[in-house]
Amino acid sequence: MWHPSSAKRHPLPNALWPTAEEAARGRWFKPIRIARTTLAQRTWVPAMVPWRATEDGLVTDDVIAWYERFARGQPGAIVVEATGIRDVASGPLLRIGDDRFVPGLARLVEAVARASDGKTRLFIQLIDFLAVKRRPTKAKYFERFLKVEDRHREALAEATGESKWKRAAEPEVRAFLAAADDALHEDVLDERELESLRFGARERVTDLDLEHVRELPQTLPIQFAAAAARAKVAGFDGVELHYAHAYTMASLLSRLNTRTDGFGGVRENRVKIPLAVMRAVRHAVGNDYPVGVRFLGDEVIEGGNRIEDATWFALEFARAGFDFLSISKGGRFEDAKQPAVGAAVYPYTGPSGYECMPTVLSDEKGPFGRNVVLAAGIRRAVRDKGYDTPVVTAGGICTFEQAEQILARGDADIVAAARQSLADPDWFMKIRLGLGAQVRRCEFTNYCEGLDQMHKQVTCKLWDRVDRDEAGITKSSDGRRLVAPKWTAPEGGAAG
């Protein structure tokens, strides 16, 4: 596994851009069918959270401008960012947990159709997540959050050798612990309490003592189905169920899911809720409406799912009628770095996070197309069983040749690019027009991801290096351009 001490900086892969004729013959620009919908190309912009919704999760003009900008490059599909299925406050993340979110989302659908000239299909990623609290100060944790129990008093008495702690009043215990050092905390607190102190409290799918977690088998199918029905009403071309990274559905699929109520343990149990969610969604949207899934080819954490699990789940998903399988990797909380006090733990800071959005500082393999092997293994297994479900791959893809080779080898059916599309939303169009030399190439150093981590409006560092005096630029409060610089295709092409 990659480790910073073994990292070396990799140059961007050489790009021999095709002529317009070569591009037109390329596999990447050939159509593909997904259920009732046809993508005009196999180019794909996967979900990226830009932190542009209102505090109430509603679509804003900035959300619309963000997706319009991608749409002008006319990719085969864009997946709208992870959008919350519950009607709970979650800051400026998009939500779809109530009918009041539908008009804004419908406006977004119309804007993308207009900007892409009807060429781009628009999917929306539906997500459920459990509570993650910010890391508290030590004082606040012991004053407010720790539930003081007799076992703490016992442990305190043992650790200090003073039996008086066995009968100590709660405020005394709290004050003593607040002033104590790490070693004493380790003697007195259990593993979960230590984590809440050092990282912030984080709910897990295994917390069966919490009613809403216990009831996930009942609530998730209803909430996902209602959200998918709203997506259909809003006019989206399909939905992508988010079963990847650090969130509820991936945690249910994980080998670390040890629920004892029949929904944890062996794979057959872990997949029950994800399949029940799929059936409920299907029932809500009908057989011909595209319903895809994004899940992990490898969790990249100790004790987590490997490719064998992912392949097994992929077959279950294909059999259940998912219309595409989008393969991601890593991005888990379990190996994330400790956040600063006042910040929340971010699932892309550890080795599994690295694998999800690999940077040029890497091991021998480098970041480019690093995760394709997972999609390839899954696609092979799915095809061997007779399913033709399209497979989407992503991760460090930034040239036409990479995409062509992936498709030619049959490693995937659709090739997605997140950060390269962020750096240059026109890049698919430029390649198609034989203008690849004009592509603004992503540097894969993750400035954008750093902004996401701080819950700041996501932008690309390259956008602010050009045309700073362009008229009508919208900027973030700290002066960053919120939309990629304008690009105008020469005669006959589309304008960006």
Ligand X SMILES: Cc1cc2nc3c(=O)[nH]c(=O)nc-3n(C[C@H](O)[C@H](O)[C@H](O)COP(=O)(O)O)c2cc1C
46 binds ligand X (CB under 6 A): yes
448 binds ligand X (CB under 6 A): yes
Which amino acid belongs to residue 281? V
The nearer residue to ligand X, 221 or 395, going by C-beta atoms, is: 395
Residue pair 220/81 in contact by the 8 Å Cβ criterion: no
Smallest gap from residue 460 Cβ to ligand SF4 (A): 3
Per CB under 6 A, the segment of 129-137, 327-335, 361-369, 439-447 that binds ligand SF4 is: 439-447
Q: What beta strand segments (E) does 184-265 contain?
A: 238-243
Residue pair 262/269 in contact by the 8 Å Cβ criterion: yes
DSSP state of 202: B
Partner touching 417 among ligand SF4, ligand X, none, CB below 5 to 8 Å by kind = ligand X
Find the binding residues for ligand SF4 in span 405-424 (CB under 6 A): 419, 422-423
DSSP state of 301: S
Find the binding residues for ligand SF4 in span 458-477 (CB under 6 A): 460-462
Smallest gap from residue 353 Cβ to ligand X (A): 10
389 binds ligand X (CB under 6 A): no
Alpha-carbon span 281 to 128, nearest angstrom: 14
The nearer residue to ligand SF4, 298 or 452, going by C-beta atoms, is: 452
The nearer residue to ligand X, 292 or 396, going by C-beta atoms, is: 396
Partner touching 254 among ligand SF4, ligand X, none, CB below 5 to 8 Å by kind = none
The nearer residue to ligand X, 48 or 325, going by C-beta atoms, is: 48
Find the binding residues for ligand X in span 65-124 (CB under 6 A): 81-82
Partner touching 443 among ligand X, ligand SF4, none, CB below 5 to 8 Å by kind = ligand SF4
Residue pair 46/90 in contact by the 8 Å Cβ criterion: no
Which are the contacts of 268, defined by CB distance < 8 A and separation ≥ 6?
none
Q: What beta strand segments (E) does 263-317 contain?
A: 291-296
The nearer residue to ligand X, 46 or 436, going by C-beta atoms, is: 46
Partner touching 328 among ligand X, ligand SF4, none, CB below 5 to 8 Å by kind = ligand X
CA 10 to chain CA centroid, nearest Å: 25
Q: Report the Cα–Cα distance between both ends of the chain, in Å, rounded.
A: 40
- Residue 490: HSE in the Cβ half-sphere, 13 Å Cα cutoff: 8
Exactly one of 417, 431, 460, 482 binds ligand X (CB under 6 A); that residue is 417
Residue of 446, 348, 329, 448 lying closest to 393 (CA atoms):
329
Alpha-carbon span 453 to 70, nearest angstrom: 22
- Residue 412: HSE in the Cβ half-sphere, 13 Å Cα cutoff: 29
Exactly one of 85, 300, 391, 442 binds ligand SF4 (CB under 6 A); that residue is 442
Phi–psi pair at 42, nearest 5 degrees: -95, 25
Smallest gap from residue 354 Cβ to ligand SF4 (A): 13
237 binds ligand X (CB under 6 A): no
Alpha-carbon span 354 to 366, nearest angstrom: 11
Alpha-carbon span 375 to 203, nearest angstrom: 30
484 binds ligand SF4 (CB under 6 A): no
**Where on the chain is the footprint of ligand SF4 (CB under 6 A)?**
419, 422-423, 442-448, 460-462
**Where on the chain is the footprint of ligand X (CB under 6 A)?**
46-49, 81-82, 125, 242, 244, 294, 328, 356-357, 394-397, 417-420, 448-449, 452, 458
